[in-house]
């Protein structure tokens, strides 16, 4: 015997949408929202809902930013290991261990695994051997969006949700309440992303 079918009223149906963020070379933050109930197709290989064609648009890994580290000019101190000394004091202390890079004979050493930092002092768990060169440098960090990703952050989710930046500068998620959005599809510069620009994402520099 055939089972009876059921019709779910539209007001009780669960909506599903695609929400994504992208930051351009000009520093503009673009928000894309696709309501799958509207019939709009979503084809991330074919370039819809954007004007980018020929490449997958979603991040290929969970890390949607790349971290690059460079040593500050003139910010490196050099020491010579003697086989017994484990503590090396910086002339210019930094906030924490993420603001420095430690090298032993030119090889970068991992924080917490090989050394720790506190109150301007780098402490090795095992003393560098006699005659070894210890270099401790202050670092600059930059976080850049992966140039291969079109949407830098995205989420598929159920329900009626809209993301926006409020008047206080907070990134806000509003659920079950519509918010008027101005569509700009066709006038953006999504296809002119340059991976060499440092404006693509937030840059961070140590405070020294």
Question: What does DSSP assign to residue 3?
Answer: P
So what's the pLDDT on residue 120? 96
Q: Which of 1-5, 17-21, 195-199 has the lowest mean pLDDT?
A: 195-199
8 Å CB contact between 72 and 101: no
pLDDT value for 44: 76
Q: Is 183 exposed, middle or buried (0-12, 13-18, 19+ CB in 10 A)?
A: exposed
Residue that the structure tokens 């079918």 belong to? 5
pTM for this model (two decimals): 0.47
Better-predicted residue by pLDDT, 116 or 166: 116
Taking residues 69-91, what's their average pLDDT?
94
The answer to which of 28-37, 112-121, 150-159, 180-189 has the lowest mean pLDDT is 180-189
User: Tell me, what's the pLDDT at 92?
Assistant: 93
| pLDDT confidence of residue 85 | 97
- Of the listed ranges 23-27, 59-63, 96-100, 180-184, the one predicted with least confidence: 180-184
- Extract the tokens encoding 142: 């930059």
Tokens encoding 50: 């954007």
Among 54-63, 147-156, 192-201, the range with the most confident prediction by mean pLDDT is 147-156
Q: How far apart are CA 56 and CA 43, in angstroms?
A: 9
DSSP structure class, residue 143: E
Determine the pLDDT at residue 180: 60
Question: Once rounded to an integer, what is the mean pLDDT over residues 180-201?
Answer: 46
* pLDDT score for 147: 64
Q: To the nearest whole percent, how much of the chain has pLDDT over 90?
A: 33
Which pLDDT value is given to residue 26? 66
Q: With 90 as the cut, is the pLDDT of residue 94 above it?
A: yes
Residue 199 has pLDDT above 50, yes or no: no
Find the angle CA(174)-CA(176)-CA(177) to the nearest 5 degrees.
65
Give me the residue spans of the domains in the chain.
15-64+146-205, 72-144
Q: Which residue has the higher pLDDT, 17 or 183?
A: 17
Residue 82 — pLDDT band, cuts 50, 70, 90? very high
The owner of tokens 């340059």 is: 194
Which long-range contacts link 156-163 to residues 24+ away (Cβ below 8 Å)? 156/16, 156/17, 156/18, 157/16, 157/17, 157/19, 158/14, 158/15, 158/16, 159/14, 159/15, 159/16, 160/15, 160/17, 161/17, 161/19, 162/19, 162/33, 163/19, 163/21, 163/31, 163/33
pLDDT category at 32 given cuts 50, 70, 90 is confident
pLDDT for 189 equals: 47
């Amino acid at each position: 015997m055939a089972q009876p079918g059921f019709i779910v009223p539209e007001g009780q149906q669960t909506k599903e949408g695609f929400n994504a963020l992208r930051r351009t070379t000009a520093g503009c933050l673009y928000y894309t929202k696709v309501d799958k109930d509207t019939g709009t197709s979503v084809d991330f290989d074919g370039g819809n809902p954007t004007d980018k064609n020929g490449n997958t648009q979603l991040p290929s890994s969970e890390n949607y930013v790349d971290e690059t580290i460079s040593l500050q000019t003139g910010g490196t101190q050099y020491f010579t290991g003697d086989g017994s000394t484990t503590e090396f004091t910086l002339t210019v202390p930094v906030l924490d261990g993420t603001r420095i890079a430690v090298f032993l004979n030119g090889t970068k050493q991992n924080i917490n695994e090989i050394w720790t930092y506190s109150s301007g002092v780098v402490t090795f768990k095992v003393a560098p051997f006699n005659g070894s060169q210890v270099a401790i440098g202050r670092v600059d960090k930059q976080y850049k969006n992966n140039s291969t990703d079109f949407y830098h952050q995205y989420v598929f989710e159920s329900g009626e949700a809209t993301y926006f930046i409020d008047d206080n500068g907070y990134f806000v998620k509003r659920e079950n309440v519509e918010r008027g959005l101005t569509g700009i599809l066709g006038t953006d510069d999504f296809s002119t992303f340059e991976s060499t620009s440092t404006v693509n994402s937030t840059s961070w520099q140590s405070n020294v």
